[in-house]
């Protein structure tokens, strides 16, 4: 740590990497290499780190990702059980079914945890990279769902309307995501040079924009279906001088619990100084509506 920490009221989002892999090979996934050697991966090492982050910031958000959180429901349940209901909990998943795990198993899991899980973000891409379950499964879960779709490189723009029509019967919000490895502070809010925005403006009604230092969302409506185009920087720490006290802070947006329980302050190798984070300075979350009308800006 070079500077004292600052984060938003409630605490930085804590992202937990499932200590087990998925069977997918999405070309834009930068996590896949981490799962080639699972030595040292353990939920029993992750759980103390979850408890520690709950102790320091008892109102922060938790996100489970991977890998594939639902590849081991029992382990996921045990990790979820460590998180009090003061936190919002999100799960990033493909909702896999396989021998030993049925759609009903997934539905039952959400029913048991409906008071804990805030939203399940389900990967369903414009180009099919993985074996996908039935679309209507998303509407049968006992918790809120959202579809995440990465628009990667030369995506087939002509298929966007067909893709959106797919989700209208279930009224499940769609979030298109920019390839964040290509995001910079200079193009985060760029409109003129963004071909994805140009494609969306042709087919959907623009409603508004929200954002902060780190990420932004362009909000649309497609035939009554809520649609967001999300962009975020490929790191989660902003270094900035405080106007009030004149000190320079490392402003943390995300904290990462790795598969071996190690806690990091960014998506790289930066290890969180836990003692320093116990004395973090809080500021109001700078995510705000910049223009227009925005639905679900906190998701």
Share of the chain above pLDDT 70, in %: 92
**CATH number, residue 187:** 3.20.20.70
Whether 206 maps to a domain, the answer reads yes
* Residue recorded with tokens 């790795």: 258
Average pLDDT over residues 129-150: 89
- What average pLDDT does the chain have? 92
Give the model's confidence band at 99: pLDDT under 50 very low, under 70 low, under 90 confident, else very high. confident
Q: For the sheet with 288-292, list strands across it.
A: 263-264, 254-257, 13-17, 62-65, 89-93, 117-123, 145-151, 174-178, 225-232, 215-222, 205-211, 288-292
- Cis-peptide, bond into residue 61, ω within 30° of zero: no
Q: Which of 34-37's residues contact partners 24+ apart within 8 Å by CB, and which partners?
A: 34/259, 35/66, 35/67, 35/259
Residue-level pLDDT at 281: 97
Cα angle 109, 51, 88; round to 5 = 50
Whether 244 maps to a domain, the answer reads yes
Residue-level pLDDT at 27: 59
Whether 226 maps to a domain, the answer reads yes
Average pLDDT over residues 166-181: 94
Give the model's confidence band at 130: pLDDT under 50 very low, under 70 low, under 90 confident, else very high. low
Residue-level pLDDT at 38: 73
Report how far residue 154's alpha carbon sits from residue 151's, in angstroms, rounded to the nearest whole number: 8
Give the model's confidence band at 154: pLDDT under 50 very low, under 70 low, under 90 confident, else very high. confident
Could you report the per-residue pLDDT of 3-60, keeping only the tens digit for each?
Answer: 999 999 999 999 999 998 666 666 556 666 776 677 788 999 999 999 999 999 999 9
State yes or no: pLDDT of 100 exceeds 70: yes
Whether the pTM exceeds 0.75: the reply is yes
Give the model's confidence band at 127: pLDDT under 50 very low, under 70 low, under 90 confident, else very high. confident
Question: In this structure, what is the dihedral angle of CA atoms 94, 170, 101, 176, given to the nearest 10 degrees?
Answer: 0
Whether 298 maps to a domain, the answer reads no
Please give the tally of structural domains in the chain: 1
Whether 56 maps to a domain, the answer reads yes
Residue-level pLDDT at 25: 60
Domain that holds residue 283: 5-292
Whether 64 maps to a domain, the answer reads yes
Report how far residue 130's alpha carbon sits from residue 133's, in angstroms, rounded to the nearest whole number: 10
State yes or no: pLDDT of 299 exceeds 60: no
Residue-level pLDDT at 29: 60
Whether 287 maps to a domain, the answer reads yes
Could you report the per-residue pLDDT of 192-223, keeping only the tens digit for each?
Answer: 989 999 999 999 999 999 999 999 999 999 99
Average pLDDT over residues 264-289: 97
Could you report the per-residue pLDDT of 88-98, keeping only the tens digit for each?
Answer: 999 999 998 88
CA–CA distance from 131 to each of 94, 282, 289 (Å)?
9, 42, 37
Give the model's confidence band at 67: pLDDT under 50 very low, under 70 low, under 90 confident, else very high. confident
Whether 297 maps to a domain, the answer reads no
């Amino acid at each position: 740590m070079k500077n004292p920490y600052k984060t938003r009221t409630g605490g930085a989002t804590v992202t937990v990497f499932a200590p087990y892999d998925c069977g997918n090979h999405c070309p834009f996934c930068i996590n896949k290499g981490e799962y080639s050697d699972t030595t040292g991966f353990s939920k029993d090492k992750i759980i103390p780190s979850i408890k520690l982050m709950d102790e320091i910031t008892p109102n922060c958000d938790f996100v489970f990702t991977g890998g594939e959180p639902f590849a081991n429901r029992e382990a996921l349940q045990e990790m979820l059980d460590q998180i009090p209901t003061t936190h919002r909990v999100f799960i990033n998943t493909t909702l896999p079914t396989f021998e030993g795990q049925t759609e009903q198993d997934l539905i039952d899991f959400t029913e048991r945890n409906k008071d804990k899980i805030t939203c399940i973000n389900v990967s369903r891409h414009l180009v099919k990279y993985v074996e996908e379950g039935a679309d209507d499964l998303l509407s049968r879960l006992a918790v809120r769902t959202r579809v995440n779709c990465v628009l990667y490189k030369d995506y087939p723009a002509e298929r966007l309307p067909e893709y959106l029509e797919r989700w209208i019967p279930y009224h499940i919000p769609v979030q298109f995501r920019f390839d964040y490895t290509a995001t910079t502070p200079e193009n985060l809010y760029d409109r003129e040079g963004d071909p994805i925005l140009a494609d969306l403006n042709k087919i959907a009604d623009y409603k508004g924009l929200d954002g902060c230092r780190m990420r932004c969302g362009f909000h649309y409506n497609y035939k009554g279906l809520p649609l967001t185009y999300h962009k975020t920087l490929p790191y989660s720490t902003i270094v900035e001088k405080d106007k009030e006290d004149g000190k320079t802070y490392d402003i943390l947006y995300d904290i990462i619990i790795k598969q071996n329980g190690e806690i990091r302050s960014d998506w790289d190798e930066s290890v969180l100084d836990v003692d320093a984070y116990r004395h973090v300075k809080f500021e109001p979350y700078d995510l705000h509506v910049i223009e227009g009308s925005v639905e679900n800006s906190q998701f």
